Amino acid sequence: MFGRIVRYTLAVLGGLALMSGAAAAQSRVTIAVGGAGCLCHLPIILAGQLGEYKKAGMQVALVDFEADAPAFFAMMYGGTADVVSSYFDHGVGLTAKVQAVKAFVTYGRYPGFALVVSPKPAGTISSVKDLANKKLGVSAPDPDRLLAYLKSLLIKNDVDPNSVDVIGIGLAGAAVAAMENGAVDAAIMVDPTITQLQGKYRDLKFVIDARTQNGTLDAFGAEYPGGTLIAKNEWIAAHPKETQAITNAVLATLKWIHSHTPEEVVANMPPELVGPDKALYLAALKNTIPMYSVTGRMEPKGAQAALDVFSQSSPESKNAKIDLSQSYTNEFVEQTQRMR
């Protein structure tokens, strides 16, 4: 239940470079990943493949979990992870429960999901308003997060969430089959499943495509943050050098992604994640690259958008008096920028 150590677990060694340039003692950090197969976590995996953790003097182990929730459990209670690679809104949820955690680098500037219409009843759905009394599929490693997005979209468009029949359709082939045979009228999906379905139906209809800036702005009114690295406040306070080194590695990786071709990115990813259909993975990556951050910063409007969404689906978030400024920090990102 609590995950497995992935076959491509990173163990990269080196000397931590301080601002003075002197070498420090070797540091070990374990990062729990909420579903390594999701392209949303690619920068964290790629940082190891490119040797960026090693350059920062880190020995990093990535531990793969089925979803964000068990990854967070490993960090918060299991004692098996120091940092979690997850969506920012999960951190907001923990903040609502008075759990002292903080995002310290934001590598995803968009959520990366899409609300896709089934090819079978495509003519009957053109907007979120048309989803009333429809069957909606959820296809993702973390359905709770996508359900929160869905509920927010429905409420925003004056559709009663109780009028929608939500059905779990799984991932990959199972999700595609559910869409093809009309088991659901539409679905909230993530890549590479979106691209797999789109490859079969070139005229596939999208109601929302939050893999892009325009789609995210239409859905949430801001560049809703996606993937982040989150740790307990006490861990960050006790390990500022490690936190800074990880931030340096992730920002270097983001820069590398945006200065290289998708083909080069795929060539550096673990074969276990690329899978047998390299062309599909490449096509999905091309659709996904826009959602990777350029700066690594958390934008206040994006953080507020995440709180607004979860306030509609979570009574704890709605009733909690959350100080969003305590749920993230750009301190380490800004330090990296000053060092460049």
- For the segment 281-339, what is each residue's pLDDT rounded down to a tens digit? 999 999 899 999 999 999 998 888 888 877 766 665 555 567 788 889 999 999 998 88
3-class SS letters over 28-42: EEEEEEECCCCHHHH
User: Are the C-beta atoms of residues 105 and 251 closer than 8 Å to each other?
Assistant: yes
pLDDT at 145: 67
Q: Which range among 246-260, 272-286, 301-315 has the greatest average pLDDT? A: 246-260
- Range scoring the smallest mean pLDDT among 38-47, 79-88, 157-166, 306-315: 306-315
Whether the per-residue pLDDT at 17 is higher than 60: the answer is no
> Phi/psi of residue 292, each to 5°?
-80, 130
pLDDT at 105: 97
Name the residue with higher pLDDT: 148 or 265.
265
Whether the per-residue pLDDT at 30 is higher than 50: the answer is yes
What CATH number does the domain located at 113-209 have?
Answer: 3.40.190.10
User: Are the C-beta atoms of residues 30 and 279 closer than 8 Å to each other?
Assistant: no
Mean per-residue pLDDT, 22-34: 70
pLDDT at 22: 28
Name the residue with higher pLDDT: 190 or 107.
107
Mean per-residue pLDDT, 67-95: 83
Q: Give the CA distances from residue 321 to residues 176, 287, 307, 316, 318, in Å, rounded to whole numbers and listed in that order.
A: 41, 37, 11, 10, 8
pLDDT at 318: 58
User: Would you state the structure tokens that stand for residue 246, as one six-digit string?
Assistant: 């990880």
Whether the per-residue pLDDT at 8 is higher than 90: the answer is no
SS3 content of the chain, % helix, strand, coil (to 5): 50, 20, 35
> Considering the domain 4-110+225-339, what is its CATH architecture?
3-Layer(aba) Sandwich (3.40)
192 preceded by cis ω (within 30°)?
Answer: yes
User: Are the C-beta atoms of residues 226 and 109 closer than 8 Å to each other?
Assistant: yes
Going 48 to 50 to 52 to 57, the CA torsion angle's sign is positive
What band does 73 get if pLDDT is binned at 50, 70 and 90? Answer: confident
Whether the per-residue pLDDT at 48 is higher than 90: the answer is yes
Task: Report the distance separating Cα 249 and Cα 254, nearest Å.
Answer: 9
Q: Where in the chain is the domain with CATH 3.40.190.10?
A: 4-110+225-339, 113-209
Residue in 51, 89, 68, 57 with CA at minimum distance from that of residue 220: 89
